[in-house]
Structure 1
């Protein structure tokens, strides 16, 4: 899964090209008779009337044409007329769904930072993800959920301001990075031999501050985007090969990791 994102509203053709399942007019053939088809396209058109439009899309790879037309897809919406400034945090509606009975309609509040085109999914601590099952539901339920998520953005911005005011000690920053790695690699055997200094290393000069918000963003980007080099060790602990961490390309895992990192950040905020 790779995002197609632009610093402008996406055209309908771009959304359809990178997320064809968003324009399905019916569910997959193998869903049950109790399955309620909820149209992603109707949501796009309804939000567009409120000047809330797609700025990023993604869809999982599919092996068949049918799966391509009904598979899991993700769309990030924000207000069309919002003028971005460097370093500004912009709220987004993050939609994840499919039309094959493998995913409900899921809405989260997302945050977008212009400085690094970073997508951060906030937060079960502010607003739990809203899930609408494809059973006894209709398009109005989907639209109401989208606006409910966006209404929570003020709480998220206040949460960010609190994180910016919280300066972490060196020990706290290393503790944060250490706990974050367990969220990225749950099994100890899967975790690369990666120094915590690399996870805390900013990719830009402007991100060298020691506050919680900056630390969170640096760690989040390094874990999600990957590309951190390390040495693979043999059974005796000797380096045998130079490797790099992989990006988190799965839609579900990307969202889950972002939510968990946000929860972790709030844990450090409240300590």
Structure 2
């Protein structure tokens, strides 16, 4: 996922904070106020156990997990404002406080929740790459994420789940190191790019109508990302998929030339879904290259 400084809000209605240091509750409340809702949305029934995300954050802090990035949705239905889906990324205390160097990767725990019924507590594994300020979510699976319904001892269950997925995040960092040792030829890079193009723009049948081409997903946005190894190639593809900004000439409904520009992925659900699909793609390529 891509995150921006707290002073900036994206045009699509999402706010985010870039965690150069652990975020305080006040900073979290500025960019993800739904995490501090004082009651569930009015649409929830009496069976819904309201456990505020703020309590979970406090519990995770006691266990050494500190929030470093956050975002939330701005709903189309104004009545849901203040209760919508929010995402908070945590690093364990030792990781969050260590000196930062360009290109570093950090294992993270990603917490997703809402107080309007659109999400249970969902804890999943993440990786953050400092070079491009990109947060990623690893491919999903029973051992890679934990869903906690709004009932019972939610705080304890989320904490236990966070330790589980933190181990997966650390394994993902080890996988990234292994991917960095795998060289891809042009055809193999093209396979990743074409798959990413379908993942990003394809319809239910896999048909792609955009004039944006697969090779554009391989373009480096910085000199440090021009290498041909799997990890660097994956990061180029992931960043171009999520951040958008790819340009091409297409045709409008009247067959007149028009400039096309891919949009940044800002929706939490779409962001997580795309990141998981791309991570799985990287894993499959690593397996084919004998680096699984």
Structure-2 separation of matches of 1:179 and 1:239:
29
**Residues 17 and 71, structure 2, Cα contact 8 Å, conserved in 1:** yes
Tell me the distance in 2 between the aligned counterparts of 1:193 and 1:268.
Answer: 26
Contact residue 101 and residue 134 of structure 1 kept, 8 A: no
Aligned to 2:278: 261
- Residue 196 of structure 2 corresponds to 180
Pairing 1:49–2:62 present:
yes
User: Which residue in 2 is equivalent to 1:242?
Assistant: 259
Contact kept? 1:112, 1:120, Cα under 8 Å: yes
Question: 2:74 and 2:16 mapped to 1: Cα distance?
Answer: 12
CA positional deviation for 1:159: 1.2
For 2:281 and 2:270, the matched residues in 1 are separated by 16
Partner residue in 1 for 2:183: 167
Q: Which residue of 2 aligns with 1:200?
A: 218
Whether 1:121 aligns to 2:137 is yes
Deviation at 1:102, TM superposition (A): 1.1
SS of structure 2 residue aligned to 1:269:
helix
Summarize deviations over 1:132-154 as a string: whole Å, max 9, x none.
12244532112211222113233
> What's 2:51 paired with?
38
Compared CA separation, residues 124 and 41, structure 1 to 2 (3 A): same
SS at structure 1 position matched to 2:235: helix
Moved more, 209-218 or 116-125: 116-125
Q: Secondary structure at the match of 2:258?
A: strand
The structure 1 residue matched to 2:82, chosen from 65, 69, 74, is: 69
Q: Distance in 2 between matches of 1:76 and 1:214?
A: 23
Counterparts in 2 of 1:71 and 1:124: CA distance versus 1, 3 Å: same
RMSD of aligned residue pairs (Cα, Å): 2.1
Deviations 1:163-185 (A, max 9, x none): 11111110010111001111112
Unaligned 5+ segments in structure 2 are: 1-13
Deviation at 1:235, TM superposition (A): 7.0
Please point out which of 151, 154, 169 is paired with 2:170. Answer: 154
Asked whether the equivalents of residues 198 and 208 of structure 2 are also in contact (C-alpha less than 8 Å), the reply is no
Q: TM-score, normalised by structure 2?
A: 0.86
* Cα distance in 2 between the residues matched to 1:4 and 1:252: 18
* In 2: Cα distance, 1:268 partner to 1:138 partner: 37
Corresponding position: 1:141 with 2:154: no
Aligned ranges 1:77-92 → 2 under 5 Å: 77-78=90-91, 79=93, 80-92=96-108
Equivalent residue runs for 1:86-101 within 5 Å = 86-101=102-117
* CA gap 1:136/1:51 in 2 versus in 1, 3 angstroms: closer
Query: 2-side partners of 1:193 and 1:246: how far apart?
Result: 14
Aligned to 1:203, what secondary structure does the other structure show?
coil
Greater alpha carbon shift after TM alignment, 225-234 vs 129-138: 129-138
| Contact kept in structure 2, 1:35 and 1:135, CA below 8 Å | yes
Partner of 1:131: 147
